[in-house]
Copies of this chain bind each other. A is one copy, B any other.
Amino acid sequence: MNLSQIELLRVLHETDFNLSKAAEKMHIVQSAVSRQLQLFENELGSPLFERKGKKLQGMTPLGLKIMEEVAVINRAKKNIQTLASDYLDSNQGTLHIATTHTQAKYFLTTPIRRFKEKYPGVKIYMVQASPEQLIDQIHSRTADIAICTEKVDEDANLVIKTCYEWSHAAVIPQDHPLSQGEITLERLAAYPILTYSFGFTGRSNIESAFKSVGVDLDITLAATDTDVIKTYVRLGMGVGLIAGMAFDPLTDQDLLARDLSHLISRSSTKIAYLKHNYLPQYSQHFIDELLLAARDMHA
């Protein structure tokens, strides 16, 4: 047994048990892959793959059990490499952040600016994705850290830290009727609504708030990003329901934001990353910056 055989099992699993593709991924010829697999199976004494003639079709029950251990080994191996290179130069490496538009534009700017000052050598990659994709990105190791707003399911393989809480706001033109008097769900529902796409930025909290009082919403526009919503509010299309922190008093002087924390339950922004996965010092620092920025926002 050796580490490239362990790696091979992982790659074979990722390539639908195709030896040729696995060979390509591992930068060796396919005959070598074929032989290494035979050697490994012979060493263990039992086949790990179901075969139909020569072609691999899937994994045997034994193979499936062994894949769990294979994942453990590959993860630990990567951790060793990360630990060492981190120790060698903590100012070098990459940081992949997966997040949504709202977080990227209204929350991450400060932490990222401060992070770049401390770790100028670290390359930051930001991937914008829908909330449900964020967690997938973590699991597929495409991203190191995800910043989520929607509910994140309990997952034994994830570390989830609550970052900060926020509430929604209604944005309207300055002269809109809703600028006066107390805001209620019923008053809001009387207007066409512009808000986030389903699954984005606390949209589910908006849904349940109106549902609980039995009021139907007339959603004219569902967007993934706040700027689109504001743009159409300016055109008089209706009332925008956005995340509170996405209202900028400076650039949005022509608009008015009215807090809805008493009507729509507060949402929380969370940080998620893989358990059992060593994060370099700089990544840990970035998480600290996020939590710091979150605390500053509340103050």
Contacts and interface: CB of A to CB of B under 8 A. Distances in A.
A125 interface: no
A88 to B, nearest CB: 5
A84 B66 contact: yes
A80 B44 contact: yes
A62 interface: yes
Interface string A77-90: 10111011101100
Contacts of A245: none
Given A2-B2, A2-B3, A46-B88, A76 B83 contact: no
Interface string A83-99: 11101100000000000
Give the interface size class of chain A.
Answer: 20 to 34
B2 A84 contact: no
Number of copies: 2
Contacts of A85: 44-45
Interface in A207-229: none
A81 B73 CA distance: 13
A2 B1 CA distance: 10
A65 interface: yes
Contacts of A69: 76-77, 79-80, 83, 278
Main secondary structure of the interface of A (DSSP, over half): helix
A98 B3 CA distance: 34
B84 A44 contact: yes
A65 B83 contact: yes
Contacts of A65: 83
B87 A62 contact: yes
A236 B230 CA distance: 96
Interface string A48-80: 000000000000001001100110110011011
Contact of A84 (B45, B79, B83, B84): B45
16 contacts: A1-B80, A1-B81, A44-B81, A44-B85, A44-B88, A45-B85, A45-B88, A62-B83, A65-B83, A66-B83, A66-B84, A69-B80, A70-B76, A72-B73, A73-B73, A73-B76
